Structure 1
């Protein structure tokens, strides 16, 4: 009932606000040739610090070096008090259920004289349909949303998404996909698109001092509810590798009913606290269950963060930014027990990297500055097509 009333109210807002926006073409012609005014719209929980929020803030900082940037965060909860754009870009928050904010949003965006909307794909809202219809919009896809909705939402919500998904997609002037696999599974219908894996601001990370543990120490950082992380296989791995010590960060201490003694659960930690654990470890473990999202290729944020710290990684998928095999990533089968299928290969990989870290030059193509310049070039191209 709550969803139905929300849709009804949103539809009224849509009909009322549609006349607000005039065509963006005249505005685009007046835009300075090199400087853009960009609004980034993204869904994430602003009440906690996450890999997604850190990535988006880094992107906005990179864009704001030469452009005006405003970030609109759609959040289910009130944001952390100290969240800011460091004076480099503006951040605005909209609480999902705040009806007043929904009504005001089109008026608010109208006053900003935006050149381009960058939308990290999320839940449909009629207000977005009004905005995207009048302003050049690029939609970014990070995962197989059709399957995610089917696996994680109620039947009613899944039906809602299936009925409304294309209403926003058809208004986009261009698309960004984080993997080739996602692009291949999507029909752009002749509109421009690029594949650009997730970036990370390497300047924020120092390569950790190498360690050589007599007994291997591995670390895994994940989030409860993100089934594709594959944390459930780690106790089984620890039972096989009894001489290993496996540190799990991000999960409550009672997450597993039974776990081996060589599995240490640390709960949620901020970056300063979990860095002290990473400093002690020989290797890191990235997502192991992308098969749950019907994906074989990824661009995961944690793998990039591990590499930024210099940690070699074990991953259950191929990564879009590493099309060729590299010696600092061990790719195991993308199945429920993939990491268990060749234990000797896992051992050899960890032993080979003891006392070493991944060189920064090996991963410089992941850097925010490098990747975001490519994204900005795509923005300029899309705006140019609207003039």
Structure 2
């Protein structure tokens, strides 16, 4: 197959973090399986990426009203250029990482069958990005979904969202995975007291960073690293045992996790009306052998009974209610690492890409039979 990977909004931080690594890993496996691929993407930043074609856009004015208008025009112009390059690539299939519609995106559906990957419940998540993003997404999402040939969803919960299920499209649920060969286990640290680390994103309230600040205040003996968010986003001063590290490149995140006893998954998924997810950083922690605290239903992990995983409810008061259990778990995990081989079968990226590629082949075969 000749696959065009299309993304509508990748910035420089994506490429330095988990999203960029995920895309590169997927593309690498596709090549290893004998397929051709190329990444085409829109970006607000100047990004040079191997074997990819970037189309930069941005506002041409600083005035609030003109800023939004000129940004829309610039993004549409970049999209038109991208489509022309896409047409010249002659793909057999287009894999679209879902993002807000950019005119004239609708033209791609005449070039090849399009499979849309949806990573979150966009109907809820875009509420957190402001009224313009929310309404733009609400009115235009149907263009991508109704014209698609199939959907790849990251959770069973997303498949059950009425607006997604009503589309009647072929669906394959494929949670995020990890390349075990590229992420080797880390030796446990020799900390005097427990170190807990969460990899979050600035402004993403569903990560529940505020809950960890409560935990740090209650238990000064715990050290808590918060990667991806900074002091400037907090209300007031944080305790001395909280380390607000801001954005950290992926290779440096590994160094932080190397010194951690426990990694923490998202703690407030309920804030965007979701129960289920498959965070990339949780999978990375498993590959490194780091014990986990999960405050949500993980598509791959939550049904596994393992002493190295502490599951707490996906509720607003989960950390407050289970604070003692979290502290005890952190102490118990000091100097220990989980057996990552126990999770390889459900998390290994190579298997997930085999499933994805078979879905691609099934869609193409179906289209062929319809001719």
Say if 2:186 and 2:289, in contact at 8 Å, map to a contact too.
yes
Q: Tell me, what secondary structure is at the counterpart of 1:348?
A: helix
Aligned residue pairs total: 344
Correspondence for 2:230: 252
Correspondence for 1:3: none
Correspondence for 1:42: 7
Indicate yes or no: 2:128 matched with 1:141.
no
Task: Report Cα offsets for 1:148-183 as digits up to 9, x if no partner.
Answer: 1223222x4422222211122111111111000000
Say if 1:46 and 1:73, in contact at 8 Å, map to a contact too.
no
CA distance in 1, matches of 2:361, 2:199: 36
Indicate yes or no: 2:45 matched with 1:77.
yes
Indicate yes or no: 2:292 matched with 1:332.
no
Written as runs of structure 1 = structure 2, the 5 A alignment for 1:234-313 is 234-256=212-234, 257-313=236-292
Does the C-alpha gap of structure 1 residues 377 and 258 become closer, same or farther in structure 2, counting only changes over 3 Å? same
CA distance in 1, matches of 2:159, 2:180: 27
TM-score (norm: length of structure 2): 0.88
Moved more, 220-229 or 265-274: 265-274
Uncovered stretches (5+) of structure 2, i.e. residues with no partner: 58-73
TM-score (norm: length of structure 1): 0.84
Say if 2:41 and 2:82, in contact at 8 Å, map to a contact too.
no
Runs of 4 or more, structure 1, over 6 Å off, are: none
Q: What's the CA shift for 1:232?
A: 1.4
Indicate yes or no: 2:324 matched with 1:357.
no
Say if 1:252 and 1:267, in contact at 8 Å, map to a contact too.
yes
Correspondence for 2:183: 205
Correspondence for 2:136: 160
CA distance in 1, matches of 2:224, 2:216: 7
Q: What's the CA shift for 1:209?
A: 0.5
Moved more, 274-283 or 173-182: 274-283
Say if 2:3 and 2:93, in contact at 8 Å, map to a contact too.
yes
Q: What's the CA shift for 1:45?
A: 3.3
Q: What's the CA shift for 1:323?
A: 4.3
Say if 1:200 and 1:304, in contact at 8 Å, map to a contact too.
yes
Does the C-alpha gap of structure 1 residues 251 and 191 become closer, same or farther in structure 2, counting only changes over 3 Å? closer
Correspondence for 1:59: 26
CA distance in 1, matches of 2:130, 2:203: 12
Task: Report Cα offsets for 1:292-334 as digits up to 9, x if no partner.
Answer: 1110011111111111111111121010012414322212121
Correspondence for 1:21: none
Q: Tell me, what secondary structure is at the counterpart of 1:119?
A: strand
CA distance in 2, matches of 1:247, 1:44: 28
CA distance in 1, matches of 2:142, 2:253: 40
CA distance in 1, matches of 2:263, 2:142: 38
Alignment match of 2:358 (pick from 341, 358, 377): 377
Correspondence for 1:169: 145
Does the C-alpha gap of structure 1 residues 117 and 346 become closer, same or farther in structure 2, counting only changes over 3 Å? same
Task: Report Cα offsets for 1:190-241 as digits up to 9, x if no partner.
Answer: 3211111012222221211023433111111111022211111111101112
Correspondence for 2:70: none
Provide the aligned C-alpha RMSD in A: 1.8
Does the C-alpha gap of structure 1 residues 68 and 368 become closer, same or farther in structure 2, counting only changes over 3 Å? same
Say if 2:3 and 2:35, in contact at 8 Å, map to a contact too.
yes
Q: What's the CA shift for 1:133?
A: 3.6
Task: Report Cα offsets for 1:65-93 as digits up to 9, x if no partner.
Answer: 110001112211111x4x31xxxxx3111
Uncovered stretches (5+) of structure 1, i.e. residues with no partner: 1-35, 85-89
Does the C-alpha gap of structure 1 residues 313 and 126 become closer, same or farther in structure 2, counting only changes over 3 Å? same
